[in-house]
Amino acid sequence: MEAKMVEVGTAYVLKNILTTREIGPPMLPNGEYGTGFNPDIPYTLSSWLTEEDDLAYFTLELTAPWTGVKTLVPVKFITGELDMVYTSLGMKEYIYTWRRNEGRCTEFRGSDCTKRSGSL
């Protein structure tokens, strides 16, 4: 899949994923660009997300200092019913039966799903 994404560029693919209103996992049928992504279709980022910082959310190196650290404050997982990951196969069941990430989240307060919203 990564090789096909190179055709349109990582930045475009991530912006497409962040702004899609389609539910379920991304589908990549073969098309004019070989991926199903069409870089000629415009996207609209949320008002709080700029062109410069949207890719920063996918930089795993930035999270390294927190690897294995316990969350010691109350936590509630909130998602939207149109979120791409939430609507992927098996994710709803996983989220609602989550076992507090093996003790790393000491005060898990449950999960909630908002209506008519996605990840952004």
Structure tokens at 76: 């509630």
Helix (H) or strand (E) holding 76: strand 75-80
DSSP 29-74: ---TTSSS--TTS-----TT--TTTTGGGG-GGGGGGGTTPPB-S-
Determine the Cα–Cα distance for residues 76 and 58; give it in Å rounded to an integer: 22
Report pLDDT for 76.
86
Report pLDDT for 33.
47
Residue 1 pLDDT class (50, 70, 90 cuts):
low
Structure tokens at 81: 């019913």
The residue ranges of every structural domain in the chain are 1-63, 68-120
Site of tokens 């404050």: 73
Predicted TM-score (pTM) of the model is 0.55
Report pLDDT for 57.
58
Average pLDDT over residues 4-10: 73
Judged against a pLDDT cut of 50, whether residue 118 lies above it is answered with yes
Report pLDDT for 10.
74
- Which carries the bigger pLDDT value, residue 68 or residue 103? 68
Residue 35 pLDDT class (50, 70, 90 cuts):
very low
